[in-house]
Amino acid sequence: MNRVLPKANDPCWCGSGRKYKRCHRETEGRIEPGVISPLRTVPEAIARPEYATGQSNGEPQRWREPMVKSPDVLARMRIAGRVAAEVLADTGAAVRPGITTDELDAVCHQACIARGAYPSPLGYRGYPKSVCTSVNEVICHGIPDDRPLSDGDIIDLDVTVFVGGVHGDTNGTFLVGDVDDSSRRLVRVTEECLQLGIAAVRPGQPISDIGRAIDAHAAKHHFGVVRMFVGHGIGEQFHSEPSVPHYFTPAASTVMEPGMTFTIEPMITMGTWRERLWDDGWTAVTADGRRSAQFEHTMVVRGDVAEVLTVRADGRPGWSL
């Protein structure tokens, strides 16, 4: 017989005397694959990245795109970054208990089209949706399906748009209803890790400085830092050089230069940083089933600081804590 799980504020079934949301809830009710709806279409008038033209089976072309971008590319990336932040804000505003992740995908898809942008994940290496929806223990690349969000969930929305021949990539973790204090702390610390990673961007310094800053802050709060998935160069290609680890490794020795564009997108976990991949080939979950959160910006290295590109017209990101 299946046990009926208590509500978030009820006493835990184990008899500990603690509320369920602060006891066994973290490792029960794990996310399971749901039903994926048919592909959504994009108007022919909207320009597509090369992998979405139907000529390459979703496989991106690779070329040696300069890590340091020209003024023209940077101007277009500022537009793409703003659009990505707006789409993330629109999609995040729809998050609530009872909405399905597929319905959130529909919101994101329409928000992209309304701005003349192509949702970059759609068709990328066969990915079937316009946004990645990563709930609770899902680290990244969760595929939207018919699962409704529950009160107390957390969900990361990973939005990338292609407009003006370039990509803008951002994501944020959103709270669903009444979320327990430990999950709120995880989300807050993860956003702080992103900001500290951004603050570590300096011309002439190695990219490893970014991971050093993030690693130290996560460790201070006894959280893990996912190693399998890292930040990346971005521009006319969705993913390019350099690689940006969020943990400290001396191997990340690429020196940051003015005009270089990349993402910083730390994935921070309550428990182990190790991952397990679902059979769908996309969905990565924490190996211990504990929760994970993520925030991401696309940025360009400037004279002495990082300029964040994925913000709305008023300078705000696509999320609010």
Domain boundaries, the chain: 65-308
Q: What is the pLDDT of residue 26?
A: 55
b/e map 49-85, b = 16+ CB within 10 Å: bebbeeeeeeebeeeeeebebeeebbebbbbbbbbbb
- Residue 5's pLDDT band, with cuts at 50, 70 and 90, is low
Rounded CA Rg of the chain: 19
Q: What is the pLDDT of residue 46?
A: 98
Q: What is the pLDDT of residue 6?
A: 66
Arithmetic mean of pLDDT, 270-287:
97
Q: Is the pLDDT of residue 105 over 90?
A: yes
Tell me how long the chain is: 321
- Residue 57's pLDDT band, with cuts at 50, 70 and 90, is confident
196-217, pLDDT tens digit by residue?
Answer: 999 999 999 999 999 999 999 9
Distance CA 49, CA 198 (A): 28
- Residue tagged 């990361």 (tokens): 156
Q: Is the pLDDT of residue 15 over 70?
A: no
- For 65-308, the fitting CATH number among 3.90.230.10, 3.20.20.10, 3.30.70.1400, 3.90.1170.40 is 3.90.230.10
131-145, pLDDT tens digit by residue?
Answer: 999 999 999 999 999
Arithmetic mean of pLDDT, 280-295:
98
303-321, pLDDT tens digit by residue?
Answer: 888 999 999 999 999 998 7
Q: What is the pLDDT of residue 162?
A: 98
Q: What is the pLDDT of residue 48?
A: 96
Arithmetic mean of pLDDT, 10-35:
71
213-261, pLDDT tens digit by residue?
Answer: 999 999 999 999 999 999 999 999 999 999 999 999 999 999 999 999 9
Token reading at 119: 């949702």
What residues contact residue 2 under an 8 Å CB cut-off, 6+ apart?
none
Q: What is the pLDDT of residue 28?
A: 58
Angle between helices 181-199 and 208-220 (to 10 degrees): 150
Arithmetic mean of pLDDT, 3-21:
66
Arithmetic mean of pLDDT, 162-187:
98
- Mean pLDDT, the chain, whole residue set: 94
Q: What is the pLDDT of residue 183?
A: 98
Distance CA 58, CA 63 (A): 16
Q: Is the pLDDT of residue 3 over 50?
A: no
- Residue 45's pLDDT band, with cuts at 50, 70 and 90, is very high
**DSSP states of 22-52:** GTGGGGSS-----PPPPPPP--TTS---GGG
The DSSP 8-state label assigned to residue 296 in this structure reads B
Residue pair 19/27 in contact by the 8 Å Cβ criterion: no
Q: Is the pLDDT of residue 174 over 80?
A: yes
- Residue 186's pLDDT band, with cuts at 50, 70 and 90, is very high
Percent over 70 (pLDDT), the chain: 93
Q: Which among 199, 203, 177, 171 is positioned nearest to 268, based on CA atoms?
A: 171
Q: What is the pLDDT of residue 1?
A: 28
- Residue 176's pLDDT band, with cuts at 50, 70 and 90, is very high
Q: Is the pLDDT of residue 14 over 80?
A: no
Distance CA 241, CA 306 (A): 17
